[in-house]
Structure 1
Amino acid sequence: MSQSNSLHILLVEDEQNIARNIAEYMEQKGHVFDFAMKGKQGLELALSAHFDVIILDLNLPTMDGLEVCRQIRDKADRHIPVLMLTARDSVDDKVTGFQSGADDYLTKPFSLQELEVRCLALSRRHRLHTSDSLSLGPLVIDRKRQHILREGQRLDVSAMGFKIMTVLAEAYPQVVSRTELSQKLWGDEPTQSDALRSHIYQLRGVLDKPFAYPILKTVFGAGFTLDIQDNE
């Protein structure tokens, strides 16, 4: 894993077996971990060190995850992405979690691979929203100037092409479905069925054709994603 994809993560989880499994998997992937088993301890760590993502269990001793999240949002001097873990999967529980300031929600039992993907996506989305530019391997997306660079070369992308790349970069490494991409580009306004296909085709001509390998990838039956290779 490249250094740019290595996250500093705070895990607040009182079940030692779960914490150990998460840590072993994520550390093998190159991420750095700090731990807390109690809510108040987790809050103190969250406010005293710099973390890319906090994985926060809902049911904790001394202070539950909802209150920890509320206090992080109230007291932290920056927005720290929070992924909440819980055995509760009702809509009401999820709404309460989001209202407390959680950015994402994962119901136990979950796959460790999905947990990592969500942490990476949360961190990237946060960086994209809080900085003028986002680097993904050979790509630099400059939100302020609405420029895209590949290998330092500015790409002549259209306004719609820039929007498509921004949506895919926010979601990376997850796949964005055609329906979701269309909704983010046009909202609820109806559009021609082949409009998205046309924009994707034009974007590929600028983004991929002049280079050694394609970055914009179609996942059959699922949608679109970016294929980032850091060694370009």
Structure 2
Amino acid sequence: MRGFLLEDDPQHAAHLIDCLAATGIEISHFSTASAFFKGLAEATPQMIVLDWWLPDLNGFEVLRKVREHFGLRIPIVMLTSVDSEDLIVSALEAGADDFLTKPVARPILRARLQALARRITQVPVAYRGRLTFGSFCLDYAGQSVVDVDAPEERFVLTPREFDLIWLLMNNPDRFIPRAELLAAVWGKASEVATHTLAQHVHAVRKKLGLARRGIRLVAVYGSGYRLELPAG
């Protein structure tokens, strides 16, 4: 399991790395938000531990940017040295899964992280491994899409576009209600407007060239979508 730690204080970072390692999480440590986002562009962690006060960007902004690009699927623990009820509420409302005040007792931190790790391992099998649909091959861990008939063609999808096509290709020829798609891609508590889903569907159709490959991604009565297997 891969975890990202964003903490600029060396002493706190050493303590946190030790606790994270004890839970079996492989740690990538970053001291600045800019370094963190560079790392995020190269690999997707399964858990993020994020300090609130950073030298180049506050943790709230980092949290917001991560949620914008990855939705709710990556658990995020926020840390701060300020014990403020308003701060805790703000972090949780912005999408943090947990909030801890430093210094954090080792047993408490370890228990919280293990609880989040259990949440990750309980992801349905359909959301792990690889998937083949027509000539497409999808790798969930690598968040990549390849057309085996045209390996030179590259597909660049956002994390939410990938989650959307992964869900649809796992359920070929099945009508999937709009609410189910929104909950799966944006989270059960999401208030994302339905036109946002339509925009992502349009982007997936265009980026993957579904029409020219004989694959139909159709809207059904304006209440959901169905991905139809290619003919033959």
Q: TM-score normalised to the size of structure 2?
A: 0.49
Q: TM-score normalised to the size of structure 1?
A: 0.49
